[in-house]
């Protein structure tokens, strides 16, 4: 298949490029060209800012693809998604949109399945993702474009642009304590980036996925405290957790893992309908991510812990 990926050079989209090449597809990426060194040989780059709709129209005027994967969040509004679909109208076989589990109303009881009502619990991000999903669904309803929506949550793995698992690696390899926000009991779910990329590569062109949305993430549910305990176990470092009482100053705990609700999603639909299931357990995925972290020498990077030290002095 000929596949065009919007993005391609950072994290999820970079891993998708690799998964598609492994599966023997022809791949082109559309981005602003800030990381040409990340584009593998044989992959064509279309340099364009997706927010500039006029330029997008000119750049993609003759493009024809079997599959389009809209991944990057630029931040991407519904109008940006519409502009992309307009430009490629009639020249795409199957269009896949990377949304987020954060479209669901997180005030509702867990777990969230694909029929859970969507709302603006997560603010502008949810608004943009819901609008992007709707732009895709509208093309499907009104023009018969085959579309699929993917809703991941807390993606982790090599090259992660969110400082989540690496935040804890950084502290544990240096023998530092980990501050815990409150009791650390909010539930979280993580998905390995290679599993997500492989899932999307598998879905492309699959008629069963047309017109559907799928939660795509790992199978294990873990509390905030349990996540750190698992990381310490996996990387074989002693752990000192320092609980911080609620109501104090913000507690640093990964890049986006501090929030006061559960985040738990069912993956029954993608398993039952498409037979897609993750290859990594959370432990094996974290072990693989830690190997990458060490290989990159990230355990030797300079980090300023002074603010965290001040907080530690307050709470111990
Ligand atoms: N990470 C998670 O835990 C998570 C969870 C749920 C959903 N998601 C969603 O997953 C998607 C992927 O996120 P990611 O962080 O892995 O990033 P990514 O898509 O792998 O990387 C961003 C890519 O987009 C390109 N880009 C950025 N701004 C652009 C623009 N204005 N026009 C054209 N290209 C542009 C970048 O290249 P240039 O800079 O060269 O343009 C880069 O190739 C996002 O939609 C995010 O909302 C992520």
Domains of the chain in start order, with CATH, are 2-154+192-215 (3.40.50.720), 160-190+218-264+272-306 (3.90.25.10)
Give me the half-sphere count of Cα atoms (radius 13 Å) on the Cβ side of residue 219: 12
Nearest to 33 by CA among 46, 23, 52, 42: 46
What is the pairing mode between strands 187-189 and 221-223? antiparallel
Q: Which residues is 5 bridged to in the sheet?
A: 29, 69
Q: Are the beta carbons of 78 and 14 closer than 8 angstroms? A: no
In short, whether 157's Cβ falls inside 6 Å of ligand 1 is no
Which protein residue's CA is at the shortest distance from atom 35 of ligand 1? 31
The residue to mutate among 5, 6, 7, 199, having the most atoms of ligand 1 within 8 angstroms of its beta carbon, is 7
Element (H, E) at 65: strand 65-70
User: For position 316, what pLDDT does the model report?
Assistant: 83
**281 C-alpha vs ligand 1 centroid, how far in Å?**
24
Are 293 and 286 in contact by the 8 Å Cβ rule? The answer is no
- Considering the chain, what is the average pLDDT of its residues? 97
Query: Which atom of ligand 1 sits closest to the CA of residue 73?
Result: 45
Give percent of the chain above pLDDT 90: 97
Instruction: Report the residue among 5, 8, 10 best suited for mutation to probe ligand 1: largest number of ligand atoms under 8 A from its CB.
Output: 10
User: Could you give phi then psi for residue 122, rounded to 5 degrees?
Assistant: -100, 25
Residues above pLDDT 70, as percent of the chain: 100
Check if 31 has its Cβ closer than 6 Å to any atom of ligand 1: yes
Closest CA to 155 of 163, 147, 167: 163
Strands 65-70 and 2-6: parallel
**What per-residue confidence (pLDDT) applies to 308?**
96
Distance 194 CA to ligand 1 centre (A): 15
| Residue 228 pLDDT exceeds 90 | yes
The residue whose C-alpha atom lies closest to atom 1 belonging to ligand 1 is 155
Considering the entire predicted model, what is its pTM? 0.98
Which run of H or E residues covers position 53?
Answer: helix 53-59
pLDDT band, very low/low/confident/very high, at 127 (cuts 50, 70, 90) = very high
């Amino acid at each position: 298949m000929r596949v065009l990926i919007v993005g391609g050079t950072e994290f999820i989209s970079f891993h998708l490029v690799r998964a598609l090449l492994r599966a023997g597809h022809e791949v082109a990426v559309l981005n602003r060209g800030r990381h040409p060194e990340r584009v593998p040989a044989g992959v064509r780059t279309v340099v364009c800012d997706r927010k500039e709709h006029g330029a997008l129209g000119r750049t993609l005027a003759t493009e024809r693809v079997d599959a389009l994967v809209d991944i990057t969040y630029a931040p991407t509004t519904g109008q940006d998604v519409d502009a992309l679909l307009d430009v490629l109208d009639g020249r795409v076989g199957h269009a896949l949109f990377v949304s987020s589990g954060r479209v669901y109303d997180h005030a509702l009881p867990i777990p969230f399945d694909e029929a859970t009502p969507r709302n603006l619990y997560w603010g502008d991000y949810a608004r943009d993702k819901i609008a992007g999903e709707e732009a895709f669904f509208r093309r499907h309803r009104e023009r018969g474009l085959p579309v699929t929506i993917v809703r991941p949550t807390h993606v982790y793995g090599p090259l992660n642009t969110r400082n989540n698992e690496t935040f804890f690696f950084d502290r544990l390899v240096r023998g530092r304590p980990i501050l815990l926000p409150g009791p650390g009991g909010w539930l979280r779910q993580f998905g390995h980036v290679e599993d997500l990329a492989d899932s999307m590569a598998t879905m492309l062109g699959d008629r069963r996925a047309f017109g559907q949305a799928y939660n795509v993430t790992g199978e294990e549910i873990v509390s905030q405290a349990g996540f750190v305990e698992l990381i310490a176990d996996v990387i074989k470092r002693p752990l000192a957790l320092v609980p911080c009482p609620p109501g104090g100053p913000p507690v640093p705990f990964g890049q986006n893992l501090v929030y006061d609700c559960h985040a738990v999603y069912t993956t029954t639909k993608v398993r039952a309908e498409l037979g897609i299931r993750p290859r990594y357990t959370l432990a094996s995925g974290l072990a693989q991510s830690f190997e990458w972290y060490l290989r990159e020498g990230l355990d030797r990077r300079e980090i300023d812990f002074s603010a965290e030290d001040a907080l530690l002095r307050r709470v111990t």
